[in-house]
Amino acid sequence: MVYKGCNVGSAKPSTEILKHHPHHLIDCIEPTSVFTVSDFVNKSLELIDEIHAKNKLPLFVGGSMMYFKSLLDGLDDLPQRNDPYRSELKDIKDDKGIEYLYSLLERVDPEYAKKINSLDEQRIVRALEVKHLSGKPYSSFIKLNTKKSLKDKYDVHQFAIYEDDRALLHKRIEERLHTIINSGLIDEVRSLLAKYSVAEDHPIRKSVNYKQAIAFINQEYDFETFSNKALFATRQLAKRQITWMRSWQEIGLYNIDSSQKIEEHIKKLGTSL
């Protein structure tokens, strides 16, 4: 939702909803740039201070579990993303394969290489990038543990709301996808690709709905296959989110129909603050 122009595929709140219920971190960056986990954490910390200064409580909502965990636990003090060097690594990968990049990582940081999958391009590239920019292996930063937890500074209350009935969840996912497609997903993606130079390794190209829509536009498969693949990807995403929730520490788990219990929980918190 942070990317301008990515409205339909991300199920971004409507203009009317945003007018009556203002959100932050919506349409804050163009698709020619990348909004990293580090960007999310830093922007979020700024917003927390701004909202507290107004004597209000910040509320984080969504399903970006890795981002939320990074905000809660903090990030290691690592070098920022470097697109020129990443471009070099992409050329090497295209020429020699991901296995060659992994062999480079084994040479410069064998300790971290042992911990990750040899085909995990994202982690391999990041580790090589850190070594290139800092001169230090990625594993050395992990050992330092320079993270600062959000919970060390603030009282954080967490709620996870999900549908426990898998059949009903899948039905709602299918209905949501039909709405997204019928609302103009394909036209939106065509417009994005025509308006912006979206890099081949950009997160948009890998995200649910956009990845499948781009493949359909590129005539890699027909409309029915596009729809089925988008549906499968959304179901897998929901499954991963629920797994995250169930393994999360200090979180209140609620079924989607438990609004009254959630309200009672929040009221109790209010009286104890």
| Coil, strand or helix at 136 | coil
Neighbours of 212 (CB within 10 A): 26
Q: In the 8-state DSSP scheme, what is residue 150?
A: G
CATH assignment of 157-273? 3.40.50.300
> Does the pLDDT of residue 43 top 90, yes or no?
yes
Q: Band of the pLDDT at 271, cuts 50, 70, 90?
A: low
- What pLDDT sits at residue 270? 65
Find where tokens 């909502």 sit: 61
Ordered by start, the domain boundaries in the chain are 83-144, 157-273
Tell whether domain 83-144 is in CATH 1.10.20.140: yes
The tens digit of pLDDT for each residue in 191-210 reads 999 999 998 889 999 999 99
When pLDDT is averaged across residues 34-43 and rounded to a whole number, the result is 90
Are 138 and 112 a contacting pair, CB within 8 Å? yes
What is the rounded distance in angstroms from the CA atom of residue 85 to the CA atom of residue 228?
Answer: 36
When pLDDT is averaged across residues 205-221 and rounded to a whole number, the result is 96
Find where tokens 């020699």 sit: 96
